[in-house]
Amino acid sequence: MDTPTTYFHWGFILISTPNLLVIAGMVVLFAIALVAPFPHAEADDDGRRN
């Protein structure tokens, strides 16, 4: 991990592989959180209302 990493250069953008991975990972994680089903036990819902 102490060896220099690769940098990507597009126009004025210059970004390292680890930084790119972090940002891409965040976008992916957010997308997964949006679509992944959230576990809810049927028993949690006893039909009670406030």
Using CB under 8 A as the criterion, which residues of the chain lie in contact with another protein when the complex forms? 1-5, 7, 12-19, 21-23, 25-26, 29-30, 32-36, 38, 40-50
The distance of closest approach from Cβ of residue 6 to another protein in the complex, given in angstroms and rounded to an integer, is 9
Residue 33 to residue 46: CA distance in whole angstroms: 26
Element (H, E) at 19: helix 17-35
Residue 24 to residue 8: CA distance in whole angstroms: 14
The distance of closest approach from Cβ of residue 27 to another protein in the complex, given in angstroms and rounded to an integer, is 9
The distance of closest approach from Cβ of residue 24 to another protein in the complex, given in angstroms and rounded to an integer, is 11
